[in-house]
Amino acid sequence: MKALLARTVALVAVAVLVSPSAALARTDIQWWHAMTAVLGERINEIAAKFNASQNDYEVKAVYKGSYPDTLNAAIAAYRAKQPPHIVQVYEVGTQTMLSSGAVYPVFQLVKDHGVTIDWNDVIPPVKSYYASGGNLSSMAFNSSTPVLFYNKDLFKKAGLPDRAPTTWDEVEAAARKLVASGARCGFSAAWPSWTLMENMHALHDQPFADHANGFDGLATTLKINGPFGVKMMELLQRGAKEGWFTYNGRLNKAEANMGNGECGVFLSSSAYIGNLTRASEGKFTWATGPLPRMGGFPQGSSIIGGATLWVLKGAKPEEYRGVAQFFRYLASTENQAWWAGVTGYLPISNSAVKAMEASGHFQKNPQQRTAITQMQLGKVTPNSQGIRLGNFPSVRDAIEEQMENIFSGKKTAKQGLDDAVAKSTDILKEFAALYK
Amino acid sequence: MKRSVFPNRWLPYLLVGPQVIITLVFFFWPAFESLRLSLYRASPFGDRFIYVGLTNFERLFRDDAYLRSVITSFVFSFVVTFAGLALALLLASMANARIRGLAVYRSLLLWPYGIAPAIAGIIWLFVFHPSYGILPWLLSFVTAYQFNWFLKGWVAMALIIVAAIWKQFGYNLAFYLAGLQAIESSVLEAASVDGAGPIRRFFAITFPLLSPVTFFLFTLNMTFSFFDTFGLVHAVTQGGPGDATSILVYRAWRDGFEGLQLGYSAAQSVVLMALVIMLTAFQFRFAEKKVTY
Amino acid sequence: MARTLAQPATLAAAQERPRRRDWHGFTAHVILIASVALLAFPLYYAFVISTQTLSQVTTTPPKPWPSTALLANYAEAWHRAQMGRMLVNSAIVALGVAIGKIVISLLSAFAIVYFDFRGKNVVFWMIFVTLMLPVPVRIVSTYQVVSVLGWVNTYWGLTVPLMASATGGASTIMATAIATFHSGSCEVRGTSVSIPITAVRISGVLVIIRGHR
């Protein structure tokens, strides 16, 4: 026991000596986030820059794990009456947050504390996804949209021209040639439900769920088993069987295969640009292009992914003042341009886009323009404004489960999609029943 | 030999006090809460708490994915237990000789048991990786079949089963070795003189004499594979591909923590609770009847 | 009975026995060494990978011997995952839980074996029941209890709830062990159970205590 006591004392002493001296009496602001690697470093950078720019508040950025882990931590903390001030919640948590009654809407927060942010300057796809009644409940921060990546070296080896395939027919043709020339993976995609189902439906102006994708009321059923969904899944099922499409797992697991130079054509978030740059350095060259389209369907727009920053109730007014100041800092054109520039996320405001163009950023980093151009060229319709579902994470799970069954040939595309719709309806109805 | 019993009145209560308090606060209270929660529909942030009776359970048994998960769990547990025990018994029999260094071997074989299941899973993840793991690479010389566990459910099951058996193996082996060594050779010699061959000797004498060890290991392995393998699945396959490796305990966590469907997840916990109770009751009944000491 | 029948039936059989035992001993060694090697291989393989650079890991054929990036990889892992902090936490939790469990189980086992008191059976079964609900199943509610106590984000919150799980197992094992040491058999609520105490069993007990998280 004595040894344990001595050891504990020693550990405590070390901890005290090692911890940074918090001599300044600043107000602490807890910011819980889910960013790792390059993105995590950038988060720490922007928090540090804000802290250095003033003396009243100190934003502490804390990595809490994946998006679900971070959300759970926030929920648990909220229920334990110790919520963080700011929590980064992924886009599929939007409905959960909106219905929760635990949120201090951002537009209200900044108004209450005398900060002005020009909400009209927010780029339309972001605004449409996150706004309720024209007002943003959460602070747009890291919004991305999926784009196509292609490995230039593998393309050259396969005798393909050095440009991105723009239609699914071209993707198939390119992937076949890549595999024939020895590539381990012709085409693959990360975030399977987001890139291949949600975005593809929105891109072709196809409905994803009823009630205008959940914007006109709580959605209770999905519509992904229509002709478009079936056609899309049949194409990929054929691709998996014929070997030109390699399914590499859920979430962003597939990014490992793109990052190590295996895959020729790849769909993922535009925010992958940062990590891919690092992973490919000195090994291979790559470029981006817009998402591939399928012929015979109308023009829609790709939708937002990523996350926003939500403010939780239960903190003190002076702390909220600090949050408002921090948001004003984040919303400044200069900081937005910086953040978008180093991460590959979309610049949130039109002013930021213009600033980046003016500074010649896109000349040096043409890849980052792709996502913006794609958003600017897209048509925002009720089917492409976004998707807002209760229990969205479970719904995504259900969809991806069936996608895996389809890709592996266990079920036909129609059967798999029908099952996904049935399961999702169950899940959506559960959520709706909570808020009847 | 009679066990002496001290006549003190209040001391025993003091001694069991800490245990009782901790058990009440950290076991019975959460267990009761889980039971209660399973009868409600709860919103994640706690703003809605609606009594729904047995609806969650109804939903569970209607859900074919849940029923598949039950089957997956049983398959997983039975294979891990039976294959693990059979392998351990086989090797223990072959290694059962009065040799020096048995204690050394035991420690060298027992260490994987001390590894957390999640770590065991990660280690085997490297071995099984479809692109650069050593096992698929070796197998590629034998067959053109793609051992890609991202896509093929049975390969993913094989992965977690192997990792689980590997972790438990040394422990099973050590117990079987001890059990075998405790069998008096005189009994076996008597049988061989009576004309029993090695196989007959094994099944008529050795195996029955090993039944307490077998029984103990059976229960231990079953409990382990049902309940302690959450970390393994979470770290390696996350229940995938599809739901091929979604064992019950993983599913309960997933629906509760990622799906944020708290009442539904609590209902799954209650079912798991019932399963354990049945397993333990079975253990006790069986121990009194069939196991020979 | 056993003694007389153990006489060798023939001289030949007696002469054969020592030779068979040598061969038997040799195979035993071979099998045990093979088992040890097979068991150790995955860990060795993981170690080898930890010494390789990312490109070496992802290229086939896999190289089964250690490479050069040992220090770089371990340094990066240490830094990125903040292993120093995590190891300290793990040490505190593991030590705390192990010591706590042993102390508490010992006390209760002692009481159960050496005292007759009202409610003894209730206590025994209450402890035993804790074996029936492992942690992952009650984790949500346990978190709520911990937060009600204000122990979120503290060492207390990490260690004490874990002392509740499988303490039951440790208690019962300890109780039977103590009783058996004492009297060669033990009456546990009417069930006669003789558990021969060997070194393996005791080490098994310790491993169980450590293994039950």
B143 within domain boundaries: yes
What does the pLDDT average to over A59-69? 90
Contacts of C149 in chain A (CB under 8 A): none
Which residue in B has a C-alpha nearest to residue A246's C-alpha?
B151
**Mutation target among A66, A69, A71, A75 for the B interface, most CBs of B within 10 A:** A75
Over 90: is that where the pLDDT of C165 sits?
no
Cβ proximity of C8 and B186 under 8 Å: no
Minimum mean pLDDT among B250-254, B276-280, C162-166: which range? Answer: C162-166
What is the phi-psi region of residue B143: left when phi exceeds 0, alpha when psi lies from -120 to 50, beta otherwise? beta
Give the pLDDT band of residue A326 (cuts 50, 70, 90).
very high
What does the pLDDT average to over C120-138? 71
A100, A253, A262: residue with CB nearest B47: A100
Over 80: is that where the pLDDT of A411 sits?
yes
Query: Token pair of B153, please?
Result: 């459910």
B27-41, pLDDT tens digit by residue?
888 888 888 889 998
pLDDT for C136 = 64
Minimum mean pLDDT among A2-16, B145-159, C41-55: which range? Answer: A2-16
Minimum mean pLDDT among A298-302, A411-415, B130-134: which range? Answer: B130-134
Cβ proximity of B94 and B202 under 8 Å: no
Minimum mean pLDDT among A3-17, A328-342, C78-92: which range? Answer: A3-17
Contacts of A77 in chain C (CB under 8 A): 152
A241-299, pLDDT tens digit by residue?
999 999 988 888 899 889 889 999 999 999 898 889 888 988 999 999 999 999 999 99
Residue C192 three-state SS: strand
B49 within domain boundaries: no
Q: Please provide the average confidence, as pLDDT, over all residues in chain A.
A: 90
Over 90: is that where the pLDDT of C7 sits?
no
pLDDT for C204 = 41
> CB of C72 within 8 Å of any CB in chain A?
no
Nearest CA among A65, A76, C169 for reference residue B227: C169
Domain boundaries defined on chain A = 25-143+305-364, 146-302+389-434
The full length of chain B comes to 293
Neighbours of A203 (CB within 10 A): 27
Cis peptide before B241, with omega less than 30 degrees from 0? Answer: yes
What does the pLDDT average to over C42-65? 81
Three-class DSSP labels, chain A: CHHHHHHHHHHHHHHHHHCCCCCCCCEEEEEEECCCHHHHHHHHHHHHHHHHHCCCEEEEEEECCCHHHHHHHHHHHHHCCCCCCEEEEEHHHHHHHHHHCCECCHHHHHHHCCCCCCHHHECHHHHHHHEECCEECCEEEEEECEEEEEEHHHHHHCCCCCCCCCEHHHHHHHHHHHHHCCCCEEEEECCHHHHHHHHHHHHCCCCCEHHHHHCCCCCCCECCCCHHHHHHHHHHHHHHHHCCECCCCCCCCCHHHHHCCCEEEEEEECCHHHHHHHHHCCCCCEEEECCCECCCCCCCCCCCEEEEEEEECCCCHHHHHHHHHHHHHHHCHHHHHHHHHHHCCCCCEHHHHHHHHHCCHHHHCCHHHHHHHHHHHCCCCCCCCCCCCCCHHHHHHHHHHHHHHHHCCCCCHHHHHHHHHHHHHHHHHHHHHHCC
Over 70: is that where the pLDDT of B108 sits?
yes
Touching chains, A (3+ CB pairs < 8 A): B, C
What does the pLDDT average to over B267-289? 78
Percent of chain C with pLDDT over 90: 0
Give the pLDDT band of residue B1 (cuts 50, 70, 90).
very low
What does the pLDDT average to over C173-188? 52
Over 80: is that where the pLDDT of B7 sits?
no
Contact C2 B186 (CB under 8 A): yes
Give the pLDDT band of residue C182 (cuts 50, 70, 90).
low
Q: Please provide the average confidence, as pLDDT, over all residues in chain B.
A: 83
Contact A4 C55 (CB under 8 A): no
pLDDT for B107 = 79
Give the pLDDT band of residue B164 (cuts 50, 70, 90).
very high
**DSSP 8-class letter at C115:** B
Higher pLDDT, residue A21 or A46: A46
> CB of C143 within 8 Å of any CB in chain A?
yes
B259 within domain boundaries: yes
Over 90: is that where the pLDDT of A319 sits?
yes
Count the domains in chain B: 1
Q: CB within 8 A of A349, min separation 6: which ones?
A: A118, A121, A122, A123, A331, A333, A336
Is domain A25-143+305-364 annotated with CATH 3.50.50.60?
no
What does the pLDDT average to over B79-84? 95
Higher pLDDT, residue B1 or A414: A414
C9-33, pLDDT tens digit by residue?
444 444 444 444 556 778 788 888 8
* Sign of the alpha-carbon torsion through A271, A276, A279, A281: negative
Distance of CA A50 to the CA centre of its chain: 24
In whole angstroms, give the CA distance from residue C12 to residue B195: 16
E-assigned strand segments in chain C: 186-188, 191-193
Cβ proximity of A103 and A64 under 8 Å: no
What does the pLDDT average to over B217-239? 86
Higher pLDDT, residue B102 or C199: B102
ipTM of the modeled complex: 0.75
Touching chains, C (3+ CB pairs < 8 A): A, B
Exposed (0-12), middle (13-18) or buried (19+): which is B101, by Cβ within 10 Å? exposed
Contacts of B25 in chain C (CB under 8 A): 145, 164
Give the pLDDT band of residue B277 (cuts 50, 70, 90).
confident
B41, B65, B259: residue with CB nearest A434: B41
Q: CB within 8 A of A13, min separation 6: which ones?
A: none
Residue holding tokens 């079936």?
A230
Task: Give the count of Cβ contacts less than 8 A between chain A and B.
Answer: 85
pLDDT for C200 = 36
**Mutation target among C59, C76, C143 for the A interface, most CBs of A within 10 A:** C143
pLDDT for C172 = 60
Give the pLDDT band of residue A392 (cuts 50, 70, 90).
very high
pLDDT for C174 = 64
Over 90: is that where the pLDDT of B231 sits?
no
Give the pLDDT band of residue B10 (cuts 50, 70, 90).
confident
What crossing angle do the helices spanning B29-37 and B262-289 adopt, rounded to 10°?
120
Give the pLDDT band of residue B292 (cuts 50, 70, 90).
very low
Give the pLDDT band of residue C168 (cuts 50, 70, 90).
low
A192-212, pLDDT tens digit by residue?
999 999 999 999 999 999 999
Over 80: is that where the pLDDT of A372 sits?
yes
Over 80: is that where the pLDDT of C192 sits?
no
Over 60: is that where the pLDDT of C4 sits?
no
Contacts of A8 in chain C (CB under 8 A): 92
A143-194, pLDDT tens digit by residue?
999 999 999 999 999 999 999 999 999 999 999 999 999 998 999 999 999 9
A75, A249, A253: residue with CB nearest B45: A75
Which residue in A has a C-alpha nearest to residue B263's C-alpha?
A430
pLDDT for C211 = 41
Its domain, for residue B225, covers: 63-289
In whole angstroms, give the CA distance from residue B158 to residue B147: 10
Over 50: is that where the pLDDT of C188 sits?
no
Query: Token pair of A18, please?
Result: 């090692």
Distance of CA A299 to the CA centre of its chain: 22
Minimum mean pLDDT among A181-190, A195-204, A356-365, C75-84: which range? Answer: C75-84
Q: What is the CATH number of the domain that holds B190?
A: 1.10.3720.10
> CB of A4 within 8 Å of any CB in chain C?
yes
Give the pLDDT band of residue C185 (cuts 50, 70, 90).
very low
**Mutation target among A17, A30, A36, A82 for the C interface, most CBs of C within 10 A:** A82
Which CATH class name applies to A146-302+389-434? Answer: alpha beta
Q: CB within 8 A of C86, min separation 6: which ones?
A: none
Percent of chain B with pLDDT over 90: 15
* Sign of the alpha-carbon torsion through B17, B22, B24, B27: negative
Higher pLDDT, residue C212 or B234: B234
